[in-house]
Structure 1
């Protein structure tokens, strides 16, 4: 028996993880009433990408409408929840995104004194990386937007694991692996 509403309708993009957590506790799926158009406003792009990353971390589906083309290659965001619908200019991108998307394609997880990064997104080479103890806190700070270690951000951007959006905005695109997306015996 399901005690949660199937869909939580959002009029705006949640501004922080606490808002997403609150909404997430009460739903299985988000529906954004506002269409998303990327490339016009770095702050709005960052908020939208952070929302999609947070939804992907929680395995919560998002129904949203894409307007216009993406200002970056599709493989950069294909691991995030794809648009349910799109305008004519973005219909091919939305279709490809839905076809290529999947759970846990680009992730990171914390261990004791290390961070493991894994990237299996289609359209690029597979990547597995390990950040040692000296990089754990700078990585945490980068994800939380507390402080920016430009060397680390440059490396993550070069690997398409993060994106710079202008006006000092950045987003770590890799999704934190909070729980394994498949049963352990299926691996």
Structure 2
């Protein structure tokens, strides 16, 4: 009988980890109580990109995550997968109600501040940087787009605009795979170092995933982002 490789097994465990989510047609959470506005509660698995695109086309504009989500590097698979899902929901301008947790101060580093802000961050205390997450959030804060043979990132998580153009074939291939998340060992060490230093990827639960949101459409004039 053929044996699955450990990395293939890890990836199956990653994509097979589900997230419970409540969906609605309106950005106002209370609108879900109006007949016909709620899509109900679902537990979803698999690739987030195609699923969130389908949800948006179906009319979903608000989502609520049932469980708190850990932000720290030692987060488990469920939390990491939930963060990737929040990234995709944010990219489609779907409002997200969720609660984050942090025990090591990483929430104040602005790594995730381009994601739709949580209702609160448990464990962060009265951290001004965490409060600023809600106050300074806007769509497209850290966004990327793909062109023929390159990817361009525009990042304002730290305030000023940082721009990155990625055109090395190994880096581009890794970015494509890390969009949904990939076992750490499948990404070359040099690529991993370059993208980590640029704050464009994060490692959680033995997997690397890509932080910037995809530019499905520009919410502002391009030069404004």
Q: 1:116 aligns with which of 152, 156, 162?
A: 152
Q: Tell me, what secondary structure is at the counterpart of 2:69?
A: coil
Once the two structures are TM-superposed, the CA of residue 90 in structure 1 deviates from its matched residue by 4.7
Whichever of the two has the greater Rg, that structure is 2
Matches within 5 A, 1:95-110: 95-110=131-146
Matches within 5 A, 1:164-175: 164-165=203-204, 167-175=205-213
Mapped partners of 1:37, 1:103: distance in 2: 22
For the 8 Å contact 2:175–2:210, the answer to whether it is kept is: no
Mapped partners of 2:161, 2:203: distance in 1: 22
Mapped partners of 2:25, 2:218: distance in 1: 24
Q: 1:65 aligns with which of 89, 94, 99?
A: 99
Once the two structures are TM-superposed, the CA of residue 122 in structure 1 deviates from its matched residue by 2.5
What is the number of residues matched between the two proteins?
Answer: 182
What do residues 103-156 of structure 1 show as CA deviations (whole Å, max 9, x unaligned)?
A: 111111111111111211135x63211112624333212324465233222211
Matches within 5 A, 1:155-166: 155-165=194-204
Q: 1:137 aligns with which of 165, 169, 173?
A: 173
Mapped partners of 1:55, 1:70: distance in 2: 26
* Aligned equivalent of 1:178: 216
Two-structure CA RMSD over aligned residues (Å): 3.0
Unaligned 5+ segments in structure 1 are: none
Q: 1:141 to 1:122 in 2, by over 3 A?
A: same
Normalising by structure 1, report the TM-score.
Answer: 0.79
What do residues 157-176 of structure 1 show as CA deviations (whole Å, max 9, x unaligned)?
A: 111111112x4211111111
Mapped partners of 1:113, 1:69: distance in 2: 40
* Aligned equivalent of 2:69: 36
Mapped partners of 1:128, 1:43: distance in 2: 30
Normalising by structure 2, report the TM-score.
Answer: 0.67
Unaligned 5+ segments in structure 2 are: 1-23, 27-31, 33-38
